[in-house]
Structure 1
Amino acid sequence: MTPLHPTAPARPAYFVSDSTGITAETLGSALLANFPGVTFQRHTIPFIDTVEGARNVVRDIQHAKADGAEPIVFATVKSAEILAELTASEAVVIDLLGGHLRELEAALGSTASEQLGQYHGVGDIERYFARMRAVEYAIEHDDGQSMRALDIADVIIIAPSRCGKTPTTMYLALQYGLLVANYPLTDDDFPSDGLPRTVSPYVDKCFGLTTTPLRLSQVRHERRPSSTYSSLAQCTLELRRAEDLYRRNRVPFLNSSTKSVEEMSAVIMQSMRLRS
């Protein structure tokens, strides 16, 4: 039987760059996120720095067009020739740099460099090394593995297991160069009204995460199916204890169930008054 409302085919979305593709994918994805009702088939194509490379991409785009919906191309390329090749394809091409570069040229009274991929460069080398040090710190202090040098942490994320501590920690380190540790709350931490002994001296640095019992149970079930650890009752108990702990110790906290890592990181930085 033919469904009354057939599912629309996924819309091809290409992120094309003359460098790593990180900027194209980040900005393009931020725009696509405003259309939650549309399904996208994503393709990131980096290092398109020749006209021939652009023509190969256009051939892929034309094949995608023949298969169904009109593709969308998010481009971060500085070469006018390469951009012209992409624009000639049967796709909606969104130049993520062009208009902004022209605006900056006008504002600064200077012409933008044509060196490929320059906007993806390290830039401030000290800032780059600070991010690398922050990543090393985050790895060392993930899930309470090390208690060394907690006094220099910018923030200590505390939460029951599988509430999103690690991805949030790594994002804050890599994106902003912040020193972030995270500590898992377990059954052993709850007989006391205070924070776990390891992190209690740094209560002003602590930020808590929580989620919904159902979501936590689903995530834990993928790791340990049909276990007490993943049961709805256990998840409900741990989250209730954690939220009580946060409130008693005046630890700010956030429900991670409906927020992206980027959103959680922004809330943490604002709440803790952190600056990158």
Structure 2
Amino acid sequence: MQTESQSRDVFYVSDGTAITCETIGHVVLGQFPFRANEQTFPFIESNDKLSDLIRQIELSFARNGVRPLVFFSIVVPELRERLCNAPAYCYDVLGSIVQNIKDDTHMEPVPQLQRSRSVGKDTNTYFERIAAIEYTLAHDDGVSLKGLEQADIILLGVSRSGKTPTSLYMAMQFGLRVVNYPFIADDIRALRLLPIFEMHRHKLFGLTIDAERLTEIRENRMAGSTYASNQQCQTELATVENLFRREAVPYINTSSLSVEEISARILEKSGLKRRLF
């Protein structure tokens, strides 16, 4: 039997990508002490898809004896009503805001499926975002350092400090072209920035992490290795943080931050502007 103070099944449901539901859900659930067992269900646009989802909700309720939490954004009234009758606590992430705007403006909303990610609104910005994602993937984990003049920001840090998920989030959500580079053993021994970064200093931003958290992450990847040892993690982090301070590279500690929070703090500190789509 699942206890409410320990964990809770959480479903993010949308007729679009469900990114908004996830983002709002993460912010809200961060205020509560239970562990969230999260699942995401995008593009719930038909009764068949909704029926499959409701079966998952019913299984969760039967298995745990506790209603799961559902953060949803669905514009079709019939689908929304069916979902709200499932054995779950359902929260319409946009409902109260839409109603408030309706009341304040005295205008009726015109619901549209996938309204927040429609290509038709501006084809150019859509393809700009795709180009940013492709650029970021091509420059992940130091694979390529060509074309740095096109980068909006260059993330530096030791291996497993959160560079890749942050890079992809910033590309997907904000259309930014992000390079990320992991310091390798030679960099750490030399305690230096690569010469190629010198002309792009204004784009550099560092990520660091607590040694205990880094050890835990690396142990999950390569248990028992020198790479995952606490001593190795402490040495790498101390060296790299010293480099950041010496070279005046701004940096943040990612240990207790979600990828959304990491990205927001990078934008705030670097002065980059969000490119919203």
> Is TM-score (shorter-chain normalized) higher than 0.5?
yes
Select 1:154's aligned residue among 147, 152, 155: 152
Other-structure match for 1:31: 28
1:237 and 2:235 correspond: yes
| Unpaired runs of at least 5, structure 1 | 1-5
| C-alpha contact 2:2 2:66 (8 A) present in aligned 1 | no
| C-alpha contact 2:205 2:250 (8 A) present in aligned 1 | yes
User: Map of 1:107-126 to 2, 5 A cutoff?
Assistant: 107-122=104-119, 123-126=121-124
Please give the alpha-carbon distance, in whole angstroms, between the structure 2 residues aligned to 1:159 and 1:27: 28
Please give the alpha-carbon distance, in whole angstroms, between the structure 1 residues aligned to 2:54 and 2:205: 47
Q: CA deviation at 1:69?
A: 1.0
Q: Secondary structure at the match of 1:198?
A: helix
- Matched residue type, 1:84: E
Normalised to the residue count of structure 1, the TM-score between the two structures is 0.85
Other-structure match for 1:3: none
Write out per-residue CA displacement over residues 173-210 of structure 1, whole angstroms, 9 at most, x where no aligned residue. Answer: 11111111112212322455642212122122111111
Q: CA deviation at 1:130?
A: 1.7
User: Map of 1:78-89 to 2, 5 A cutoff?
Assistant: 78-89=75-86
Other-structure match for 1:96: 93
Other-structure match for 1:169: 167
Please give the alpha-carbon distance, in whole angstroms, between the structure 2 residues aligned to 1:225 and 1:52: 43
Please give the alpha-carbon distance, in whole angstroms, between the structure 2 residues aligned to 1:242 and 1:51: 53
Other-structure match for 1:44: 40
| C-alpha contact 1:194 1:200 (8 A) present in aligned 2 | no
Other-structure match for 2:138: 140
- Matched residue type, 2:79: I
Please give the alpha-carbon distance, in whole angstroms, between the structure 2 residues aligned to 1:29 and 1:215: 20
Instruction: Tell me which structure has the larger Cα radius of gyration.
Output: 1
Normalised to the residue count of structure 2, the TM-score between the two structures is 0.85
Other-structure match for 2:212: 214
| Unpaired runs of at least 5, structure 2 | none
Select 1:250's aligned residue among 243, 248, 251: 248
Please give the alpha-carbon distance, in whole angstroms, between the structure 2 residues aligned to 1:231 and 1:240: 14
Please give the alpha-carbon distance, in whole angstroms, between the structure 1 residues aligned to 2:100 and 2:212: 48
| C-alpha contact 1:77 1:97 (8 A) present in aligned 2 | no
Higher helix share: 2
| C-alpha contact 1:193 1:248 (8 A) present in aligned 2 | no
Other-structure match for 1:18: 15
User: Map of 1:180-199 to 2, 5 A cutoff?
Assistant: 180-190=178-188, 192=190, 194-199=192-197
Q: Secondary structure at the match of 2:226?
A: coil
- Matched residue type, 1:218: E
Q: Secondary structure at the match of 1:182?
A: strand
Q: CA deviation at 1:58?
A: 4.5
